[in-house]
Amino acid sequence: MHEGSRDEGADDEAVAAEVPGHHEGSLDEPLDRRGLIAVAVLVIVGTVVMATRHGGGQSRAAEPTARPRPDVILVAVDGLGAEDVSSRRTPFLEGFKAESVVYRDAYAPSPWASEALRGLLTGQHRPVDRRTEGWVPGIADELQRVGYRTALVPGHVRHALGAGEESAVPTGYAEVLTVAGLEDPAGAEGSSVAAAALDWLGRSERPCLLVVTLADPRAPHHHYQGGSGGPDPSYEGPVESGLDHDDLLRLGPDLDAADRAQLAALHATEVAAADAFVHQLIEGARAHRDVAPVIVIAGLRRPALGEAGRFGLVPSMEPEDLRVPLWLHVPAAQAGTPALRGVVGAPVSLLDVGPTLLCALGLAPRAGLDGSSIYPGSAVPERPIRAVTSRGICAAVGFDGDRAVILEAEPPAALVRTRGAEGGSEEGGRWTPSKSVTGADADLRLGLARWMKRAGIEVPGGGVPDLEAAPFTP
């Protein structure tokens, strides 16, 4: 014990001898010792702070490492139908589908590509201007808020969403790229669109939201060659590559079976070309950074190649015409599990894409959206799936399981569509006219009509129709 006491005293004396102004036996000794303790504490704290600031020491090593945010790539193809995708015609899309989450029963919110695209990017049937009351942020606004660069690269002028107008772009993209040929009747060539998008992406070190649209791969506009099942070289008739929309609409009623076959064959070559452009874009985006991107590929509408006498840009509220391909690829590093894949059979809308992407990135979507998150692993919300337009016509369709009701304003009519036993034996069933009307159809008509009133869906000449008692039409 005594040896220990002597050692402690000797240490005190040694320290005291090194401190200027210290006198043995002085009344200030307790204060000096307290001062020494304070100095030691400050030195220790300073060392820890400096080590943390400069990246050294255990304190810095113990900090959690933030997961880098991935790029988000969204590709929308105007005129790509679910039936267009096959291993023969679209080998890249078929392979992408196999490694992704497939939404088997997805619907465009409008028969017009521009309205469907606007809904996809905002999550709303009828988004209001950014400067007005009731505006709700879309996916671009939400990702810009957390540091993303955002760009929209449209393949056709109708996809530009007001970029050339004085008002701000309603969807909130920081940049809207103008590609050569954008205002051509057929839009810009897909290779030019993909190259412009990848050039923009390559100049960014920050995570990016890149939205790219391809002009409809719908015959007979572009002059693409190649692909299997191409046009008949011996064909002689009015259908030719480069035919204007107005001419196609004019000729449509008089086209015979050989003309329609040529139209479909031209469409097949353009679908094959779209597959190559999407491949170019996705592989370039994947090579941009070490962090694998989150990717969405969607069709905006089914092509009108003569079914029910429709050719070209003719709006249709038929459920089968609104059905579009939709795939989501979330890489393993982002999902925290192996890369997500599988099939979602529940009905979904393109309005759901934005909220779903935000959930995939760990962000909560804002309230007030018509779309909902359908991120894999959580239950797909049970709510009505609807599509509507007041452009050219005033009509809406509502889905409830295997039944759907189409409301048309002029003249007022309700049409019932069904699938399953009545709709064929294909996977998911094909929508066809129903042979009967049920109480569920009446309820669906009522709910859809009241929703049209609340949403203020007007007929082209003005006024909101009252369709609660619209007569059912075979």
Q: What is the pLDDT of residues 100-118, one digit of tens each?
A: 999 999 999 999 988 999 9
The last residue of a domain, from among 361, 382, 403: 382
Q: 377: pLDDT confidence band, cut at 50, 70 and 90?
A: confident
**458 belongs to a structural domain:** yes
pLDDT in the model for residue 263: 83
pLDDT in the model for residue 216: 61
Q: Are residue 156 and residue 97 in the same domain, yes or no?
A: yes
pLDDT over threshold 90, residue 97: yes
Mean pLDDT across the stretch 337-360?
A: 90
Q: Are residue 242 and residue 375 in the same domain, yes or no?
A: yes
pLDDT over threshold 90, residue 414: yes
**7 belongs to a structural domain:** no
Q: Are residue 360 and residue 289 in the same domain, yes or no?
A: yes
Q: Are residue 319 and residue 427 in the same domain, yes or no?
A: no
Higher-pLDDT residue of 154, 47: 154
Top mean-pLDDT range of 43-52, 336-345, 375-384, 460-469: 460-469
Taking a C-beta distance cutoff of 8 angstroms, is the pair 471, 441 a contact?
Answer: no
Residues of the chain with pLDDT > 90, as a percent, come to 45
Q: 162: pLDDT confidence band, cut at 50, 70 and 90?
A: low
Cis peptide before 331 (omega within 30 of 0): no
Q: Are residue 55 and residue 78 in the same domain, yes or no?
A: no
Lowest mean pLDDT across 49-63, 223-237, 446-460: 49-63
**23 belongs to a structural domain:** no
Query: Phi and psi (nearest 5°) for 164?
Result: -90, 0
Give the DSSP per-residue string, 144-201. HHTT-EEEEE-SSGGGS-STTSSSPPTT--SEE---TTTTSTT-S-HHHHHHHHHHHH
The last residue of a domain, from among 20, 44, 62: 62
Q: Are residue 241 and residue 351 in the same domain, yes or no?
A: yes
What tokens does 346 get? 């529940």
CA angle 258, 260, 94 (to 5 degrees): 120
Residues of the chain with pLDDT > 70, as a percent, come to 78
Higher-pLDDT residue of 436, 315: 436
Taking a C-beta distance cutoff of 8 angstroms, is the pair 301, 215 a contact?
Answer: no
pLDDT in the model for residue 38: 46
**Which pLDDT tens digit goes with each residue over 206-215?**
999 999 999 7
pLDDT over threshold 90, residue 45: no
Taking a C-beta distance cutoff of 8 angstroms, is the pair 447, 438 a contact?
Answer: no
**16 belongs to a structural domain:** no
Question: Residue 214 contacts by C-beta under 8 Å, 6 or more apart in sequence?
Answer: 75, 76, 77, 78, 155, 187, 190, 193, 274, 277, 278
Mean pLDDT across the stretch 386-390?
A: 95
pLDDT in the model for residue 335: 67
CATH code of the domain covering residue 347: 3.40.720.10
User: How many domains are contained in the chain?
Assistant: 3
pLDDT in the model for residue 225: 44
pLDDT over threshold 90, residue 302: no
pLDDT in the model for residue 252: 85
Higher-pLDDT residue of 49, 101: 101
pLDDT in the model for residue 262: 86
Taking a C-beta distance cutoff of 8 angstroms, is the pair 166, 150 a contact?
Answer: no
Lowest mean pLDDT across 25-34, 75-84, 359-368: 25-34
Q: Given the structure tokens 């097949």, which residue do they identify? A: 268
The last residue of a domain, from among 382, 412, 441: 382
Higher-pLDDT residue of 137, 311: 137
Higher-pLDDT residue of 128, 322: 322
Coil vs helix vs strand at 327: strand
Q: Are residue 339 and residue 275 in the same domain, yes or no?
A: yes
Taking a C-beta distance cutoff of 8 angstroms, is the pair 279, 58 a contact?
Answer: no
Mean pLDDT across the stretch 87-92?
A: 90
What tokens does 9 get? 């005293």
pLDDT in the model for residue 443: 96
Q: Are residue 357 and residue 435 in the same domain, yes or no?
A: no
pLDDT over threshold 80, residue 339: no
pLDDT in the model for residue 240: 80
Taking a C-beta distance cutoff of 8 angstroms, is the pair 395, 409 a contact?
Answer: yes
pLDDT over threshold 90, residue 59: no
Q: Are residue 362 and residue 459 in the same domain, yes or no?
A: no
Q: Are residue 370 and residue 400 in the same domain, yes or no?
A: no
pLDDT over threshold 90, residue 33: no
**224 belongs to a structural domain:** yes
Mean pLDDT across the stretch 216-235?
A: 57
**209 belongs to a structural domain:** yes
Question: Residue 470 contacts by C-beta under 8 Å, 6 or more apart in sequence?
Answer: 407, 408, 412, 413, 414, 445, 449
Q: Are residue 298 and residue 405 in the same domain, yes or no?
A: no
Top mean-pLDDT range of 154-168, 179-193, 387-401: 387-401
Give me the domain span that covers residue 425. Answer: 390-474
pLDDT over threshold 50, residue 48: no
Mean pLDDT across the stretch 232-253?
A: 81
What tokens does 86 get? 């096959």
Q: Are residue 261 and residue 112 in the same domain, yes or no?
A: yes
Q: 384: pLDDT confidence band, cut at 50, 70 and 90?
A: confident
Query: Phi and psi (nearest 5°) for 143?
Result: -75, -30
**325 belongs to a structural domain:** yes
Q: How many H-runs (helices) and E-runs (strands) does the chain carry?
A: 13, 16
Taking a C-beta distance cutoff of 8 angstroms, is the pair 279, 92 a contact?
Answer: yes
Q: Which of 135, 215, 214 is nearest to 171 (CA)?
A: 135
**3 belongs to a structural domain:** no
pLDDT over threshold 60, residue 71: yes
Q: 283: pLDDT confidence band, cut at 50, 70 and 90?
A: very high
- Summary mean pLDDT of the chain: 79
